[in-house]
Amino acid sequence: MPFAVRQTDYQKNPMLNICDAELLGKTIVEGELNMHISESYYGERFVEKEEAETLLKNSAIINLVGDETISLSLGLGIGSENAVKKISGVPFLIVFKM
């Protein structure tokens, strides 16, 4: 399964926005919470699992959305299951590596 990614720098730190490709362009809503998984934020390009792993390992700040994306990250020891939140059943996670 491909992942949608966008790489940038934030205050001289490599930042990665990554999501399950099928979520790209969708809006998830639960009560007053609303998250648009936009192409401009997450969809610079598509990568396969191996490259996604490398990007996750080499990024200091990571915004993740989707079951497959978060499962991959947690499997690499990046992020904590306790920090995963959900909107309408769709998980998201923000990681800051120190």
Tokens 């992020």 belong to 79
Q: How confident is the model at residue 98 (pLDDT cuts 50, 70, 90)?
A: confident
Q: How confident is the model at residue 63 (pLDDT cuts 50, 70, 90)?
A: very high
* Rounded Cα–Cα distance for residues 5 and 3 (Å): 6
Mean predicted confidence (pLDDT) in 63-89: 96
Q: What is the CATH number of domain 3-96?
A: 3.30.1860.10
Compute the mean pLDDT over every residue in the chain, rounded to the nearest whole number: 95
The per-residue pLDDT for range 64-73, each reduced to its tens digit, is 999 999 999 9
Q: Domain ranges in the chain?
A: 3-96
pTM of the full structure: 0.92
Mean predicted confidence (pLDDT) in 42-66: 96
